[in-house]
Amino acid sequence: MTIFDTVKGTVSTAVDTISSVAQSIVEKNRTNAKLNRLRLVMKSESELMNRAYIALGKQLYESQKKGETVSAENQEKLFEVIEKSKAKIARARECYRQIVDSQNDIFYGNPDEEKSYSSNEVVDITVACSNESDYESSPFENIEAQVKTAVDEISGEVEEVAEKVEEKAEEIKEEITSADEETDSDSESPEGELF
C-alpha cells in the first residue's frame, strides 16, 4: 500500500502543478488584456486630443486670414475636449503604472510597500476613460473588431490548455485506478486465503 500511496501523492502533486500553471496562464492573459485595454484608451484619447488641437488651430488660422474673431463657443468646446482627454490619459497612465508595479513587486519583492489593487479598479478606469458617449464619432469604432478577434484567440488558447489539463488528469486517474486494481489482485491469494 505504501507504493500506492506514493504514486497517488506524486500524481496529485502533478495534477496540482498542472492546475496552477493553467491558472497562472489565465491570470497573465487577464493582466495583459487589461494593459492592452489601457494602452488602447491612451492611444484613442491622444488621437482625439490631436484632432481637437488641429481643429482649434484651423479655426484660428481661418479667422486670422479673414480678419474675424473666433467664436468663443467653438473654442470652449475644443478646450473641453482637450482637457477631458488629458484627464482620461492621466488616469489610464496611473492605473497602467499601478498594474505594472504590482507585477514587478511579485517578481522582485518589495516588502516596504504592500499595495493591493483589485480588478474592479482597472475595469472601472477603462470604462471611465471610454469616450463613446461624449462625442459624435467614437475613436473605438475601428478597433472593436480587432479587440474581439484578439479576445476570441486568447479564449481559444485558454480552452485548449484547459482541455489538455483535463485529458492529462483523466490519464493519471486511469493509471491510478489500474495500479490500484493490480495492487488489489496481487494481495489476494487464488483460494481467497491470506498467507
C-alpha cell at 71: 467664436
pLDDT tens track for 39-67:
999 999 999 999 999 988 988 888 888 88
Angstrom distance (rounded) from CA 72 to CA 6: 81
Phi, psi values for residue 118, rounded to 5° = -85, 155
Could you report the average pLDDT of every consecutive run of 10 residues in the chain (195 residues)? 74 80 84 90 92 90 86 87 92 90 66 55 49 52 59 75 84 80 59 51
Q: How many CB atoms lie within 10 A of CB 46?
A: 15
pTM of the model: 0.47
Hunting for cell 494481495 — which residue is that? 187
Give the pLDDT of residue 125.
Answer: 47
Give the pLDDT of residue 5.
Answer: 74
